[in-house]
Amino acid sequence: MEVVDTAQINSFAPIAAQTNFPVSPSEEAVFILTSGQLQDIITRAIQPLQDEVSQLRATVERQDEKITALQATQDTHADNQLIQLRLIHDLREATKKGPGNTEISRADKIEKYLTSRPDHRVTFETLKGHLGVDKDLLNDAIKTLMASSPGRYSIARTPGDKRKRTLIMLPK
C-alpha cells in the first residue's frame, strides 16, 4: 500500500466540488431550548423596544403639557387683547362725548379771570397757577373755552419772550 500524503487528500476537496462529485450535505444545527431560555432570549430582544416606547410616551406627555400651557397662554393673550380693544373703544367714545364737567368749570374760571382783568390778557403760566393744573389740563380747558365761544378768544406770543403764550379775550 502506498502512503498517501495528507496534502494530496486535502487537495481533492476543491476538485470534487468543481467536478460535482457527491459530497455529503452539511446539516443545519439544531438547538434545543427550555421555555425559560426562550423567554430570556425574547425578553432581551424586546427590552430595547420597550425602553424606546417608554421614552416616547414620556416625550408625548411632556409635549401634551407644553401644548396645554401654550393654549392657556393663548387664551390669556386673547383675553388681554379683547380687554385692550374695549379700553381703546371706551377712550375713543370718551373723546367723542366732548368736555367733562371739570374742563367746563375750568373754562368758566378762565373766562371770569379774563373778564376781571382790565387788559383782558393772561399768560398761560399765570393760568396754570390760578387753576392749579399742569399744561396739558390747561390746554384742554382753553380748547373747551375757545370751542364754546368761537372767535372770542385768541392766543398770542408774549412780547419780550416768544416762548411764552398769552390768552387774549377779544372785544365783542
Give one DSSP letter per residue of 26-54, joined into a string: PPPP-----HHHHHHHHHHHHHHHHHHHH
Q: What is the pLDDT of residue 171?
A: 82
Amino acid at 65: E
Boundaries of domain holding 125: 101-169
Q: Domain check: are 115 and 131 in the same one?
A: yes
Q: Domain check: are 138 and 165 in the same one?
A: yes
| Residue 5 pLDDT exceeds 90 | no
Domain assignment present for residue 1? The answer is no
Judge contact between 131 and 104, C-beta under 8 A: no
Lowest mean per-residue pLDDT among 50-64, 73-87, 151-165? 151-165
| Residue 150 pLDDT exceeds 50 | yes
Q: What is the pLDDT of residue 158?
A: 82
Q: Domain check: are 87 and 116 in the same one?
A: no
Section 105-122 average pLDDT: 91
Domain assignment present for residue 20? The answer is no
Task: Dump pLDDT digits (tens) for 63-99.
Answer: 999 999 999 899 899 899 999 999 999 888 877 777 8
Q: Domain check: are 90 and 36 in the same one?
A: yes
Enter the DSSP assignment of 22. -
* Residue at which a domain ends, from 51, 73, 97: 97
Domain assignment present for residue 5? The answer is no
Q: How many domains does the chain have?
A: 2
CA distance 172 to 167: 16
Amino acid at 168: I
Section 108-113 average pLDDT: 92
Domain assignment present for residue 27? The answer is no
**Which residues face 157 on adjacent strands?**
165
Q: What is the pLDDT of residue 139?
A: 92
Name the residue among 111, 92, 102 with its Cα closest to residue 136.
Answer: 102
Q: Which three cell numbers stand for residue 49?
A: 423596544
Q: Domain check: are 114 and 142 in the same one?
A: yes
Q: What is the pLDDT of residue 2?
A: 54
Q: Domain check: are 105 and 156 in the same one?
A: yes
Q: In the chain, pLDDT over 90 holds for what percent of residues?
A: 52
Q: Domain check: are 46 and 78 in the same one?
A: yes
* Residue at which a domain ends, from 45, 65, 97: 97
